[in-house]
């Protein structure tokens, strides 16, 4: 009887210790709910003011030329030049995290903000080749939307060497508080080349002659960049001395910058360019800051202007030409050019035009072909 009791007590204890093991083995492993990403989901990229698809691709995908893939990934973007602060972008190869459920009914959706290419908010670019007279200064930032006030005032032009030597009707000689660099709402004194050339209330544009542009085909000078720095409003004039207020600023002004009468750029905002009826071919001479490769929203110069009927608002198709191919039988076959992008004309002189790259499928280089494809006035 004692042995039987010990065996019964031992069996009972064995059953008690084995039950948790059996229960654990029977519990199925945790599974991921259908549609749920295992682990922490990738956070989407939230667009900030000043962002572009080109810049986001450069910073997050390490290749600015992947902007088109980023555009295709986010089907809600109808125009790659128009993204808005607060937009949630899924990155190629990454999942877009679902938005958290709202605790209550959301308020009415506020109106969309202005596009991220807001002209006043454009960030200053890195320093560029300086002006000989002021080697520490960089040129002002280029405009972004072609029809904005910033582009109307601040777009650079390419002028000939002779014209660059005699540009302007006076220069900044002093600031009222002796500042070295001047900006919006600062007061300045302008020394005029001749008395009686301006009056109170007139508007002047502050300009600076910049670097020389070399024609990539001939190696000769194509002219100099004329930077627009801002607007001055004349408050008083006595003989050859005028006092003025800086009413609009594209970049820092300094003593020695020249002034000219301000003539607003007549950019045709409401007109729609039509297919060009004339053949105009030009070359991409250089970019605003001398970059080796150009992309979306950058400024460049082409060697076709008003003498060939080019006007603001016209559109150039940018192409890259290749030499002919020779077959094994010796036949010479012409190679078709590659379409690289489009550029809209901002300003024109007699022999050159300032253009803004509005579409880019590949990088654009100095020397690429520019062919007039659409015109405001055919």
Residue 233 in this model has a pLDDT that exceeds 90: yes
Q: Which helix (H) or strand (E) holds 24?
A: helix 2-26
Answer yes or no: are the C-beta atoms of 44 and 101 closer than 8 Å. Answer: no
Neighbouring residues of 185: CB distance < 8 A, sequence distance ≥ 6: 245, 246, 247
Answer yes or no: are the C-beta atoms of 236 and 243 closer than 8 Å. Answer: yes
DSSP codes, 253-296: B-TT-EEEE-------SS---EE-SS--EEEEEEESS--SEE-T
Which pLDDT band, with edges at 50, 70 and 90, does 170 fall under? very high
Residues 246, 205: Cα–Cα separation, whole Å? 10
Domain ranges within the chain, ordered by starting residue: 43-93, 128-261, 274-375
pLDDT tens digit string along 250-287?
Answer: 889 999 999 999 987 766 766 788 899 889 999 999 99
CATH class of the domain whose range is 43-93 = alpha beta
Which of 34-38, 89-93, 165-169, 180-184 has the lowest average pLDDT? 34-38
Dihedral angle, C-alpha 295, 297, 303, 307, nearest 10 ° = 150
Closest CA to 365 of 280, 298, 273: 298
pLDDT number for residue 285: 95
Residues 252, 184: Cα–Cα separation, whole Å? 9
Q: What is the percent of the chain with per-residue pLDDT over 90, rounded to a whole number?
A: 44
pLDDT number for residue 173: 94
Residue 24 in this model has a pLDDT that exceeds 50: no
Neighbouring residues of 44: CB distance < 8 A, sequence distance ≥ 6: 88, 89, 90, 91, 96, 97
Collapsed DSSP state (helix, strand, coil) of residue 220 = coil
Q: What is the mean pLDDT of residues 293-319?
A: 93
Answer yes or no: are the C-beta atoms of 244 and 262 closer than 8 Å. Answer: no
Which of 47-61, 159-173, 188-202, 346-360 has the lowest average pLDDT? 47-61
Residue 30 in this model has a pLDDT that exceeds 50: no
Q: What is the pTM of this model?
A: 0.60
For the chain, what is the mean pLDDT?
Answer: 78
Collapsed DSSP state (helix, strand, coil) of residue 7 = helix
pLDDT tens digit string along 187-229?
Answer: 999 999 988 789 999 999 999 999 999 999 899 999 999 999 9
Answer yes or no: are the C-beta atoms of 250 and 151 closer than 8 Å. Answer: no
With tokens 């150039």, the residue in question is: 316
Fold (topology level) of 274-375 = Thrombin, subunit H (2.40.10)
pLDDT number for residue 355: 94
The b-or-e profile of 201-232 (16+ CB within 10 A means b, else e) is eebbbbbbbbbebebbeeeeebbbbbbbbbbb
**More confident call, 98 vs 317:** 317
pLDDT tens digit string along 72-129?
Answer: 888 888 888 778 888 888 887 644 334 344 444 444 444 444 444 444 444 444 444 4
Collapsed DSSP state (helix, strand, coil) of residue 374 = strand
The b-or-e profile of 322-334 (16+ CB within 10 A means b, else e) is eeeeeeeeeeeee
Q: What is the mean pLDDT of residues 52-65?
A: 83
Q: Classify burial at 35, counting beta carbons within 10 Å of its beta carbon; exposed 0-12, middle 13-18, buried 19 or more.
A: exposed
pLDDT tens digit string along 129-140?
Answer: 444 443 344 444
pLDDT number for residue 253: 94
pLDDT tens digit string along 355-373?
Answer: 999 998 889 999 999 999 9
pLDDT number for residue 209: 94
pLDDT number for residue 148: 61
Answer yes or no: are the C-beta atoms of 124 and 141 closer than 8 Å. Answer: yes
Q: Which two tokens stand for residue 343?
A: 């550029």
Residues 37, 285: Cα–Cα separation, whole Å? 50
The listed range with the strongest mean pLDDT (58-62, 85-89, 341-345) is 341-345
pLDDT number for residue 371: 96
pLDDT tens digit string along 139-158?
Answer: 444 434 454 667 778 889 99
Closest CA to 300 of 313, 318, 280: 318
Residues 254, 186: Cα–Cα separation, whole Å? 11
pLDDT number for residue 243: 95
Residues 95, 68: Cα–Cα separation, whole Å? 18
Residue 319 in this model has a pLDDT that exceeds 70: yes
CA angle in degrees (0–180, nearest 5) for 86-88-90 = 160
With tokens 């905002």, the residue in question is: 269
Whole-number Cα distances in Å, 205 to 21, 171, 364, 376? 86, 11, 31, 27
């Amino acid at each position: 009887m004692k042995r039987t009791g010990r065996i019964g007590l031992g069996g009972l204890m064995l059953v008690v210790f084995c039950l948790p093991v059996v229960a654990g083995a029977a519990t199925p492993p945790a599974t991921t709910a259908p549609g749920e990403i295992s682990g922490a989901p990738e956070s989407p990229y939230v667009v900030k003011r000043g962002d572009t698809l080109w810049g986001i691709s450069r910073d997050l995908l390490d290749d600015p030329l992947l902007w088109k893939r980023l555009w295709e990934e986010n089907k809600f973007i109808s125009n790659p030049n128009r993204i808005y602060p607060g937009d949630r972008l899924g990155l190629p190869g990454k999942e877009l995290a679902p938005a958290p459920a709202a605790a209550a009914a959301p308020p009415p959706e506020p109106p969309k903000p202005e596009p991220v290419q807001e002209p006043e908010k454009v960030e200053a670019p890195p320093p560029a080749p300086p002006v000989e007279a002021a080697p520490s200064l960089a040129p002002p930032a280029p405009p972004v939307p072609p029809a904005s006030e910033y582009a109307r005032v601040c777009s650079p032009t390419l002028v000939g060497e002779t014209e660059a030597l005699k540009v302007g009707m006076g220069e900044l000689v002093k600031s009222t508080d002796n500042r070295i660099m001047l900006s919006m709402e600062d007061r300045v004194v302008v020394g005029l080349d001749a008395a009686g050339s301006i009056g109170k209330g007139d508007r002047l544009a502050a300009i600076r002659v910049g670097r020389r542009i070399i024609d990539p085909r001939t190696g000769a000078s194509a002219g100099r960049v004329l930077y627009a720095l801002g607007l001055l409003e004349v408050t008083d004039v006595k003989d050859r001395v005028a006092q003025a207020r800086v009413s609009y600023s594209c970049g820092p002004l300094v003593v020695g910058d020249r002034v000219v009468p301000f003539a607003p750029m007549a950019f045709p905002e409401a007109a729609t360019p039509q297919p060009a009826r004339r053949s105009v071919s030009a070359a991409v001479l250089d970019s605003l800051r001398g970059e080796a490769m150009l992309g979306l929203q950058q400024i460049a110069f082409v060697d076709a202007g008003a003498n060939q009927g080019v006007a603001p608002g016209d559109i150039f198709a940018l192409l890259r030409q290749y030499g002919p191919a020779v077959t094994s039988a010796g036949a010479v076959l012409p190679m078709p050019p590659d379409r690289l992008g489009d550029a809209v004309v901002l300003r024109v002189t007699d022999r050159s035009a300032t253009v803004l790259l509005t579409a880019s499928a590949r990088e654009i280089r100095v020397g690429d072909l520019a062919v007039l494809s659409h015109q405001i006035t055919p």
